[in-house]
Amino acid sequence: MRPRMPPPKRQELTTHLGSPAVEDYLEQIHNLIGQKGYARVVDIAANLKISQASVTNMIQRMDTDGLVVYERYRGVVLTEEGRRVGEEIARRHEVLTRLLAGFGLDPQTVHQDVEGMEHHISRATLEVLTLLMEELEGNPKLLAKLRQRMSMPAAS
């Protein structure tokens, strides 16, 4: 069994972290830094499937907003605030993914749906889903029962 996630802190239980677009960028930058140690505009553009010019524009705005520091040759670095928000986005992504994957949905569906949902749920709803995920992961019998009741065949 996976370790339980730490309970969300009280002050996190407000609403969204930023616009969906800003959240997408922070998620990509956070992931790239986690994978490669740095985030370049060219990689962010490729992952988000948009032009490098649009990425540069947005990154400059996020720099002004204090979320990232943009250096033309070093790439994009997260500020402390940017890292905090990036980590929260990653946690939300993981909760939703684990909840859906627990039901055996195919990974591509899970990924698509998580990307579609994650920027539109409040922290209060995230807390509900986190509790559900933890209880289901700790109760394989109940999960098996629910999986049996699913009308669409699960992937595994």
The contact set with Zn ion (CB under 5 A) reads 93, 118
By C-alpha distance, which of 64, 107, 55 is closest to 82?
64
Token couple for 90: 């990653």
CA separation (Å) from 116 to 109, 113, 133, 137? 10, 5, 19, 23
Least Å distance, CB 82 to Zn ion, is 16
The rounded distance, in Å, linking the Cα atoms of 89 and 118 is 8
Least Å distance, CB 90 to Zn ion, is 8
Q: What is the largest CA-CA distance in the chain?
A: 54
Residue number with CB closer to Zn ion (19 or 60): 19
Strands (E), 55-146: 68-71, 75-78
CB count, 10 Å around CB of 62?
Answer: 22
Closest CB to Zn ion belongs to which residue? Answer: 93
Residue number with CB closer to Zn ion (93 or 98): 93
Least Å distance, CB 114 to Zn ion, is 6
Least Å distance, CB 98 to Zn ion, is 13
Residue number with CB closer to Zn ion (88 or 118): 118
Residue number with CB closer to Zn ion (68 or 92): 92
